[in-house]
Structure 1
């Protein structure tokens, strides 16, 4: 197939690109490199089936040109502002990128009848109250402008299924981690903790550290993203993906550092947008896509640490 992948130079996007190319598809990546980096695509630089365009999903004329020239079968829409604190500090940028940009993508896909796989987030959910996990009918809570913009975009995506019959699916991966994730301030908790451990620094936990996360290894996430595009069974649906196991940030830090004395607690930068418990119920993905995670948390952390050591990002 001929595929458009927005945000394909980002952390999850480059793994989605890798899987699509391995499956033999032609992939056009559109990325403005605000979060991603061309270096993430170095592995595929010589693949004739990969094309890269630097540009914004807010550039309507560029989108029109790409859709007219390439004639896509699927659009995997991962391009977005992704940082919760940034959305609190500057909600306009997040709204434009995540909601308005998604609308522009939808309009092109409607004109050319291209399936849309929309990458949303588990951050749209209200906290999990027990160990049964969060399924797709769980209450949502826009606790940050990031979550609010994603919910707005989700509703637009699903409206194009109901109003126009355009094949669309909303996917909500839980906290994804692994190789190629940033290890600095905009990175994920696993990458930051591992980097600090290897650098001999303390692992700083925001707040009390009792908040839990369901951590999904990035290759499992990419497989989920790709399969959502291939299957008609999920058209018009919202689908979760996660490990199905949560861990407190305190326990995660101890698992990574192996030494409680290297862990400290600091004031939370956005306590109002914290979700106290995140635990995924991925039974819908298993039922409709025959998908389930394959990499354990311990193995995923081992692979992440090995990558950070290898790339010398300490």
Structure 2
């Protein structure tokens, strides 16, 4: 298959590219490096299927038109986006342009070339979990930040192309993903930040009371889910969740990593209005449609991520 991967130099994108290359596909990566890094894809250059890395934006319509016309992609995995909640609150226009307008631009090129698109959304579109079985795709949405709002708008656009043009489209909502190659700074995920601070003997800072829970999905399981959504016609026109199926409070996560309550500090929340109290995923639809299930436990995933950070 000839595959375009937007956001392929980012954290999850890098792992998706690796999975695709391991399966023998031809991969082009488009990324503006606002979240990603060329270092993330250096390992990929050794694969025969790796075709090209283009530093460019999904807002550049001329670039997208020429790319699709030249290569006639079979699938587009669209991961390129602004992903930071606080950034979206401070500057909603940039997030809207990248996540909604950018998605429209990619959709139009896919429509013109009958290219299947797998759109990466987020669990942040959901309201808090209210039952023990977790959040299914039928759970209420609550876009509590411009980031989530832009993603919901893009989701609806993606699905409209399925119904209006019979374009094969899939909306995927992975829950909180972590693992090697995730940023460990302010824009990184909680696991990467906690592990880095633990290794450097720094305090682990928790926003708010720390009782909020997260369903933490290891990145290789996430990448396998993303790839599978592109190669199964049962996924077309669907919204599909992926998560571990177990949640953990941020307090418990911090203690699991440090085993020392004295190193855990609580600080004022930077965006309490956009916090989701409980995130727990119901992935039964992914199992039913794709045959996907997570393989890596939280403990194993934390160990793998810590070992990667220690090597770095």
Q: Same fold (TM over 0.5)?
A: yes
Where in structure 2 are the equivalents of 1:189-204 lying within 5 Å? 189-204=190-205
Aligned to 1:226: 227
How far did residue 46 of structure 1 move? Answer: 2.7
1:255: which partner in 2? 256
Corresponding residue for 1:17?
17
Deviation at 1:47, TM superposition (A): 2.4
CA apart distance, 1:130: 2.4
Structure 2 unaligned runs (5+)?
A: none
Give secondary structure in 2 for the equivalent of 1:116.
Answer: strand
**Deviation sequence 1:170-193 (CA, Å, 0-9, x none):** 000000000000000000000000
Asked whether 1:182 is paired with 2:197, we answer no
Answering whether residue 41 of structure 2 is matched by residue 41 of structure 1, we say yes
Partner of 1:253, secondary structure, is: helix
Aligned-residue Cα RMSD (Å) equals 0.5
SS of aligned partner of 1:58: coil
Query: Does 1:170 find its partner at 2:171?
Result: yes
Please report how far the alpha carbon of residue 236 of structure 1 lies from its aligned counterpart in structure 2 after TM superposition.
Answer: 0.2
The answer for the alignment partner of 2:95 in structure 1 is 94
For normalisation by structure 2, the TM-score amounts to: 0.99
Q: 2: distance between equivalents of 1:130 and 1:231?
A: 30
In structure 1, stretches of 5+ residues that fail to align are none
Q: What SS does the corresponding residue of 1:187 show, helix, strand or coil? A: coil
Q: How far off is 1:247 after superposition? A: 0.2
Partner of residue 135, structure 1: 136
**Alpha-carbon distance between aligned partners in 2 of 1:129 and 1:251, rounded to the nearest angstrom:** 20
Structure 1 residue runs of 4 or more that deviate by more than 4 Å after TM superposition: none
Q: Distance in 2 between the 1:47 and 1:293 partners?
A: 26
How far did residue 49 of structure 1 move?
A: 1.9
**What CA distance in whole angstroms lies between the structure 2 residues aligned with 1:231 and 1:201?**
45
Q: Which residue of 1 aligns with 2:31?
A: 31
Q: Does 1:52 align with 2:57?
A: no
In the alignment, the residues of structure 2 paired with residue 287 and residue 67 of structure 1 have an alpha-carbon distance, to the nearest angstrom, of 32
User: 2:304 matched to which residue of 1?
Assistant: 303
Once the two structures are TM-superposed, the CA of residue 241 in structure 1 deviates from its matched residue by: 0.1
The Cα shift of 1:129 comes to 1.1
Q: Aligned to 2:234, what secondary structure does the other structure show? A: coil
State how far apart, in whole Å, the 2-side matches of 1:289 and 1:298 are. 25
CA distance in 1, matches of 2:44, 2:295: 24
Q: Distance in 2 between matches of 1:223 and 1:49?
A: 18
Give 3-state SS (helix, strand or coil) of 1:45's partner.
helix
Other-structure match for 2:115 = 114
Question: What secondary structure, in the 3-state scheme, does the structure 2 residue paired with 1:109 have?
Answer: helix
Q: Quote the offset at 1:201 in angstroms.
A: 0.4
Query: What TM-score, normalized to structure 1?
Result: 0.99
